């Protein structure tokens, strides 16, 4: 009896080892197939295959990370962040690829504080790396801490003098803090570094729009789109220019592209509200301006158009509340109508 029991236990142990090895092999095969689908941009199938790999090996950190990438590519940011976080917290607390990807997903989903935390972790891990300063600059820009962002982008450039993105994003931070002269100087520098970088012309377009030179803004926007035809943010910015040039049909087409590509983009909803306002569809304009405010209630012209829309709907008290703090000259007439 004793000998037979030992044999049974040994066989059971060996079977469990072989089964475990078999599961590991299967997990690896599913993972490799998932990678092929990810490269082919077949994200739904990639997610299925990575899930199969994780069923076989629940501690397969690379499968969590790559499934997170597939989720991210389909704009399923919460699920992507969950996968990156699981890989970090449950498998490897020093897994830098997951930190990098979680940073990007947090930035895209509007969780800028967590993005900043991940940038700080990467800075501690790679203190001499240009990209860690660049990442932190991106997070600080989204948090509207522009002076700090400018400093981070400068450090990134000093560590990597070929990093045109650092220069362009530094210029963008200057633009967002209304320092257009410094922004334009940096953008000219960026053109000398790499004239094929489309974000240079997009930011120049934004500056020209702020300076009410919409013809010049359209030239820059078209140049950006010629270099990157699939960028929906460029189309949305051009849509705003078309609104100001009175070309509403072209504006609507561009703005719709922006909303379809990023349903959380407040600038696109603000622009769609302006489109409806100019089309005299004030109910639709109000819905879109309210949607923009849900994502970011600080973007330029939001309260101006919000107040103007409410006035058209004869909601003067609410209009006055939106316009009260505005100081731009064009708001004076609206304030007189709403608040007197």
Per-residue pLDDT of the chain in tens (340 residues, 90 and over written 9): 444 444 444 444 444 544 545 777 888 899 999 999 999 999 999 999 999 999 999 999 999 999 999 999 998 999 999 999 999 999 999 999 999 999 999 998 889 999 999 999 999 999 999 999 999 999 999 999 999 999 999 999 999 999 999 999 999 999 999 999 999 999 999 999 999 999 999 999 999 999 999 999 999 999 999 999 889 899 999 999 999 999 999 999 999 999 998 888 999 999 999 999 999 999 999 999 999 999 988 888 999 999 999 999 999 899 888 888 887 777 888 878 878 7
DSSP 8-state secondary structure symbol assigned to residue 313: T
**Rg, the chain, Cα only:** 26
Residue 37 sits at φ, ψ, to 5 deg, of: -70, -35
* Distances 20 to 9, 24, 58, 118, 176 between C-alpha atoms, Å: 16, 6, 12, 34, 55
For the purposes of burial, counting CB atoms within 10 Å of the CB of 1, is it exposed (0-12), middle (13-18) or buried (19 or more)? exposed
pLDDT at position 250 is 97
Closest among 194, 196, 218 to 208, alpha carbons compared: 218
pLDDT at position 4 is 44
Q: Number of C-alpha atoms within 13 angstroms, CB side, residue 87?
A: 26
CA 175, chain centre distance (Å): 18
* Sign of CA pseudo-dihedral 262, 267, 269, 271: negative
pLDDT at position 21 is 58
pLDDT at position 1 is 40
């Amino acid at each position: 009896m004793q000998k037979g029991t030992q044999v049974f236990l040994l066989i059971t142990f060996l079977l469990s080892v072989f089964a475990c090895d078999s599961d590991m092999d299967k997990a690896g095969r599913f993972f490799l197939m998932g990678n092929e689908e990810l490269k082919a941009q077949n994200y739904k199938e990639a997610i299925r295959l990575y899930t199969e790999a994780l069923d076989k090996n629940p501690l397969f950190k690379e499968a969590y990370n790559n499934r997170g990438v597939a989720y991210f590519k389909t704009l399923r940011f919460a699920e992507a962040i969950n996968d990156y976080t699981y890989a970090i917290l449950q498998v490897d607390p020093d897994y830098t690829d997951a930190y990098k990807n979680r940073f990007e997903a947090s930035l895209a989903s509007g969780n800028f504080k967590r993005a900043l935390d991940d940038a700080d972790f990467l800075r501690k891990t790679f203190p001499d790396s240009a990209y860690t300063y660049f990442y932190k600059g991106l997070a600080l820009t989204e948090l509207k801490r522009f002076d700090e962002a400018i400093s981070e982008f400068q450090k990134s450039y000093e560590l990597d003098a070929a990093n045109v993105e650092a220069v362009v994003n530094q210029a963008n931070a200057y633009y967002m803090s209304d320092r257009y002269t410094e922004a334009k100087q940096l953008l000219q520098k960026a053109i000398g570094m790499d004239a094929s970088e489309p974000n240079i012309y997009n930011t120049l377009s934004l500056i020209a729009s702020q300076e009410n030179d919409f013809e010049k803004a359209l030239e820059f926007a078209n140049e950006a789109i010629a270099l990157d035809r699939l960028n929906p943010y460029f189309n949305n910015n051009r849509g705003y220019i078309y609104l100001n040039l009175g070309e509403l049909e072209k504006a609507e087409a561009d703005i719709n592209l922006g909303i379809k590509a990023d349903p959380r983009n407040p600038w696109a909803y603000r622009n769609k509200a302006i489109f409806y306002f100019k089309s005299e569809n004030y109910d639709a304009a109000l819905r879109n301006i309210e949607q923009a405010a849900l994502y970011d209630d600080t973007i330029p012209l939001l309260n101006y158009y919000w107040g103007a829309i409410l006035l058209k709907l004869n909601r003067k008290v609410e209009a006055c509340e939106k316009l009260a703090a505005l100081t731009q000259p064009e708001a004076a007439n609206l304030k007189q109508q709403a608040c007197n």
